[in-house]
Amino acid sequence: MEQIKPHDTRGAGFRWVQLILGIVCMALIANLQYGWTLFVNPMEAKNHWGLSGIQLAFSVFVLVETWLVPVEGWLVDKFGPRPVIAGGAVLAALGWIINSYANSLTELYAAAVIAGVGAGCVYGTCVGNALKWFPDKRGLAAGLTAAGFGAGAALTVVPIASMIQRSGYEHTFFFFGVLQGVFIFVIALFMVIPSPPKCVAPAPRIVTTKVDYSTMEMVRTPVFWVTYALFVAVAAGGLMATAQIGPIAKDYGLANLPMNFLGLATLPLLTLTLAIDNVANGFTRPLCGFISDWIGRENTMLAVFSGEGLALLGLMQFGHSPIAFMTFAAMTFLCWGEIFSIFPALCADTFGVKNAAANAGTLYTAKGTASLLVPLASVLSAGGNWDLVFAVAAAIAIVAGVLAKLVLAPMRKRCIDQANARVAGGV
């Protein structure tokens, strides 16, 4: 198939329109991950499949969503974003429709595979587009795009929770699956291949490569694997919180506790916590992406990874208090969600933008690797004691922050300097 030719940028503002379309697509697939915890207990109550069996479907979804992104990114780099996002819309919708009819764990796992492929198509395409459209604001653009995925579910937490209570989880899966799929498919028709404005330069504190690495060239560099290991380490703690926040609140006896929200409404603590967490998870992505554009990627990583560790320790120590539970849960998400803006930006800084979708997608598989630890949290928390889970995740996050500053930063600078020197020498 002949590669689609890039469209005209149609003025400086056109790239912002494309960025906004990508953000909306990301928001529409956010429920596939961040709304999942609302369905866990209702599915268990009706089918008695066991929490660990149901949560394995979450791990399957994340694994497929992440580990196929390099393939989907290659398709985007070759054929453009439109067909990949459109295909993702159909698959994402189909996955939740199958969930609504699933009568066994096997069917639930099959739906997780289909939804994971669909979500990966959308996610990898939108992040890759942001990195290509905005070489001058790479952290901010990746952060805004990832914010759609992080905060998008906040808009639908209350409607989904209400519909589950009113109509059952099966109807809710079906309704939101169709709704989200249709909207993403329509938006896909307006997406074009990135063609950024001329004469834009990277942010002043960011050192970038002049070499466009292929994915195979990238994975042969030591700096890629150090980056990958840090991504896995920090992602694991956040994924545990994402998948287990509902069971944790239930074990602490807080899930259905009525909480007043700004005097406007009274909501169950779990519902309100999820809404706040999703806002925090989304807000941190453009914020920390913007900050990392100005103070450096690794400096930002040191601060926020350490913050995640402290927040997890706060949950361990004070989480049985309703206000403390909500506060430290929000802080955990605030210090975790930025990995989905900083790491893609760091990848493009280090390995170039020509193959940004495939390369960032390959790095993104670290999230899938980290998801393998999610069922382990259920095992470690046997009997409702989550202290060991929190302590281990906190220690890993803090150590990762220190290693980012002391190990990754000098290693990455050497890699970029050597690559640029070879270009300057005509090699």
8 CB neighbour count, 10 Å cutoff: 8
Q: For residue 237, what are the contacts with CB-CB under 8 A and spacing of at least 6?
A: 308, 309, 312, 332, 336, 393, 394, 396, 397
Q: Would you say residue 5 lies in a domain?
A: no
Instruction: Specify whether the CB–CB gap between 148 and 24 falls below 8 A.
Output: yes
- Which residues sit opposite 265 in a β-bridge? 261
Decide: residue 89, CB within 10 A, 0-12 exposed, 13-18 middle, 19+ buried: buried
pTM of the model: 0.77
Residue 155 per-residue DSSP state: G
Cα separation, 354 vs 212, in Å, equals: 6
Q: Determine phi and psi for 252, rounding to 5 degrees.
A: -80, -5
The pLDDT tens digits along the chain (427 residues) read 333 344 444 666 889 999 999 999 999 988 888 788 888 889 988 888 888 888 889 888 988 888 888 888 888 888 889 999 999 999 999 999 999 998 999 999 999 999 999 999 998 899 888 988 888 888 889 889 988 876 677 778 778 888 998 999 999 999 999 999 999 999 999 999 888 666 666 666 677 888 999 999 999 999 999 999 999 989 887 777 666 787 888 888 888 888 876 666 678 888 888 878 878 888 888 999 889 988 989 999 999 999 999 999 998 899 889 999 999 999 998 998 889 889 999 999 999 888 888 898 899 888 878 877 777 776 776 666 788 888 888 898 999 999 999 999 999 999 999 988 888 776 5
* 111, 253 contact by CB (below 8 A): no
What phi, psi does 213 have (nearest 5°)? -80, 140
Q: Does residue 119 lie within any of the structural domains?
A: yes
In-domain check, residue 8: no
Helices 269-295, 339-351: crossing angle, 10 deg rounding: 30
**Residue 288 lies in domain:** 14-424
Rg (CA), the chain: 21
Q: What is the CATH number of the domain that holds 379?
A: 1.20.1250.20
Buried b or exposed e, range 33-54, using 16+ CB within 10 angstroms: bbbbbbbbbebbeeeebebebb
User: What burial class does residue 413 get, using C-beta atoms within 10 Å of its C-beta: 0-12 exposed, 13-18 middle, 19+ buried?
Assistant: middle
pLDDT at 11: 60
Please indicate, yes or no, if residue 171 is contained in any of the structural domains: yes
Structural domain contains residue 4: no
Instruction: For residue 182, tell me if it sits in a domain.
Output: yes
Q: How many CB atoms lie within 10 A of CB 2?
A: 5
Name the DSSP class of 192: -
**Please, which residues have CB within 8 angstroms of residue 261's CB and are 6 or more apart in sequence?**
267, 272
Tokens 């690495």: give the residue.
213
The rounded distance, in Å, linking the Cα atoms of 199 and 123 is 28
- The closest alpha carbon to 103, from 37, 165, 43, 166, belongs to 43
Domain assignment present for 183: yes
CB-side exposure of 253: number of CA atoms within 13 Å? Answer: 2
SS3 299: helix
Backbone angles phi, psi at 265, to 5 degrees: -160, 160
- Which pLDDT score is estimated for 4? 37
- Indicate the number of domains in the chain: 1
| Residue 2 domain-assigned (yes or no) | no
pLDDT at residue number 8: 46
DSSP annotation of 152 reads G
Looking at residue 84, what is its pLDDT?
Answer: 94
- CA separation for the pair 341, 284 (Å, rounded): 9
Burial class from Cβ neighbours inside 10 Å (0-12, 13-18, 19+) for residue 247 reads: buried
Diameter of the chain measured on Cα atoms: 68
How far, in Å, CA of 226 to CA of 19, rounded? 30
Distance CA 207, CA 373 (A): 34
Joined together, the tokens standing for residue 290 give: 């913007």
